[in-house]
Amino acid sequence: MERIQLAEDVSLSRIVHGMWRLNDWGYSKEETLNFIESCLYMGITSFDHADIYGNYTVEEQFGQALALKPSLRDQMELVTKCGIKLISSKRPAHSIKHYDTSREHIIQSVDQSLMNFKTDYIDVLLLHRPDPMMDPSEVAEAFTCLKREGKVKRFGVSNFLPSQYKMLNSYLEDPLVTNQIEISATYLEHFENGTMEQCLIDRISPMAWSPLGGGSIFTSTDEKALRVRNSLEKIKEETGAASIDQVLYAWLLTHPANIIPIVGSGKLDRVKSAADALELKLSRQQWFEILEASKGNEVA
């Protein structure tokens, strides 16, 4: 599978698997291990996590599965996020949901993630959300400490606007390597607010969460969803794609920013469909047909 070089010491598979819903799949440790191995066999070597996923349980479940075959750690990249504190029985000190990007919290979160994964390093650590109380000098201190100690190779952010990304980057010794944002044919905000241009300026590849628009494209009957679905069906027939979700992935993969889609399904056939989308090539006209269907009007 094609790979995207984020930095000289970190690359990701062009398709990343997101583990957010691992709890929902009802997998045993052995079934989770089989799922991981199946992804690796397809060339999907990068797995996306966050400390809060599954009410603070998904990282640990993944780590328990990985412990059944520790040698797999050297064949994969682990991406995880921190910075959100949820109200949870597992975190009784949290009286409200809030953000925390303090030096102390970032380092504590990483130490906990390392314990959860049963590993001694994380490939890429992301700040999960922009924090209005962020002290960028504290973030920089935490990042420097974690890299110096070998606990994290590289750093990025998630859901940051261009100004927020630029602000934090200005404090760091090593530049951020990605911004994980919502991007799909039905969610165009980051094509319109300067984020995609900022990715191209800084030569970073954004990671795309919810690349299928949360699945609404398959079931919704609103006017926008119907327009896009009709466009996808047309292009599916033109290209010989196996499904419209392949066309949705191909739409992202065609963009020059080298977008990295995050697949969130626990069904291996859906994961394979995403991987196969790498072979699907859209013309410029087909790309704009989907854009037009989403916007509801032709470009000016």
Catalytic positions: 53
Query: Among residues 206, 204, 198, which one has the least CA distance to residue 252?
Result: 206
Q: How many whole angstroms separate alpha carbon 80 and alpha carbon 47? A: 8
Q: What is the number of other CB atoms lying within 10 angstroms of the CB of residue 285?
A: 8
| DSSP 8-class letter at 55 | H
| Nearest-angstrom CA–CA distance, 231 and 247 | 10
Residue 278 DSSP symbol: G
Question: How many Å apart are CA 278 and CA 250, to the nearest integer?
Answer: 7
Judged on CB neighbours under 10 Å (0-12, 13-18, 19+), 223 is: exposed
Closest CA to 53 of 31, 28, 86, 78: 86
**Which of 108, 109, 60, 49 has its CA nearest to residue 82?**
109
Q: What would the two tokens of residue 111 be? A: 């130490």
Is the Cβ–Cβ distance between 61 and 47 less than 8 Å?
A: no
**Nearest to 241, CA basis, from 196, 204, 207, 286:** 286
